[in-house]
Amino acid sequence: MKSLLTALLLSVSTLIAATPTKKPLTSETDYAGIVTVVSDTSISIKGEQGTRVFQIHPGTLYGSRAKGKLTDFPVGAIAIVSFSKEGSVRKAENIHKPRANSKVAKVFAEKQAKLPSPPPPK
């Protein structure tokens, strides 16, 4: 009985180890994608899991060294939002660009290239 149980556990652990999992591009508190809407109070990012809205607050930082500004992230730009959650609200803690050769940059650069060009300003 003990050997049967051991064999069963070994089979299950082998199956679990062999099952491929899709690793997300970013961590649980980061969301990467293309900026779709920007305002003084929020930014919308279209990423792998659809479009998400993040609230901008006085403590939101911009850029990898916090030396940027919200206008560095226009509609159509690739961005990563590091966020915190308070209930159902996602608060943008830092909005930054992905590193040039990162997987995030490569994935969304292809999607960005397929977007129509925005109309010229009037």
Residue-level pLDDT at 2:
60
Residue-level pLDDT at 66:
84
Strand partners, 38: 43
CATH number of the domain enclosing 53: 2.40.50.320
* Residues spanned by the domain of 85: 30-113
Q: Is the distance from CB of 36 to CB of 45 less than 8 angstroms?
A: yes
Number of domains in the chain: 1
Q: Is the distance from CB of 83 to CB of 96 less than 8 angstroms?
A: no
Element (H, E) at 14: helix 2-18
Whether residue 36 is contained in a domain is answered as yes
pLDDT tens, N- to C-terminus, the chain (122 residues) = 566 555 545 554 554 554 455 555 556 789 999 999 999 999 999 998 999 999 999 999 999 888 899 999 999 999 999 999 989 999 999 999 988 878 877 878 877 777 666 666 66
Q: Which two tokens stand for residue 37?
A: 């809407």
Residue-level pLDDT at 120:
64
Phi, psi of 113, deg, nearest 5: -65, -25
Enter the pTM of the model.
0.69
